[in-house]
Amino acid sequence: MKKDHRLIVALDVESYKKAVRTVNKLSSLIKIFKVGSVLFTHYGPKIIKYIHKKGGKVFLDLKFHDIPNTVANAALQATKLGVYMMNVHAASGNDALVKTQEVVTKEATRLKIFKPILLGVTVLTSLHKEDLEGFGINGSVENTVLKLGKITSRSGFDGVVASSKETRILRKTFGQNFVIVTPGIRPQWSVEKEDQKRITTPKEAIDNGADFIVVGRPILQAKKPLKAVKDILREING
């Protein structure tokens, strides 16, 4: 079985040693690993360097959300780390996203490296319509995702992070070149939903038009993580 870039494994662990063991176990089949806020806050660039050393790529999932200058400068530092993709909350606004896109593109050109894929975070998969109403946001989750997708697209970002529930409408609206990364994935054999609400299976996400799917706990908590990866790859490949 060859590496399939569509499956991103989320290193949602608190231990550097466990993250390293996971990368070592799975790097024969997995090319992209997601580094989130827990792991990065504790260990910083150390884990990113290790993944690169093993020939992997990094999705830096820190969901930057601040004033334009702060978001852009944070993304600038991430670009220097050579990450493959990173995300910013689309709700940071057009100015923040435009400035980030300009800064990242300029820095990647200066360093003569691959420009990271820039993604706007839409609506977290842990949220429902009722949660949005609690924030004062009216309308369906789908419409909210589309509005945030338009902000992201206009800013020059490459795509979005969104639930598979909204992938079809995003693909129809923004076309084939719009990158869609889908979290909230639970394989058919995984019974735990935990804190995720808007979830789908790996095959459903790919069939709905996702470019990448992100899977963490169903793999990390499996007795045989490599087998779990193989099962997911078989599922998304039909």
CB neighbours of residue 79 within 10 Å: 25
H/E stretch holding 171 reads: helix 167-174
Of 91, 116, 107, 105, the closest CA to residue 179 belongs to 116
Active site residue 63: yes
**Angle at Cα 209 formed by Cα 207 and Cα 210, nearest 5°?**
105
What's at 70, amino acid-wise? T
| Cα torsion through 144, 193, 87, 154, rounded to 10 | -20
- How far are the Cα atoms of 118, 128, 136, 199 from residue 133, in angstroms, in the given order? 28, 9, 5, 20
Which of 3, 49, 63, 150 is flagged as catalytic? 63
Query: For residues 66 and 64, what is the distance between their CA atoms, to the nearest angstrom?
Result: 7
Three-class secondary structure of residue 93 per DSSP:
coil
Catalytic residues: 63
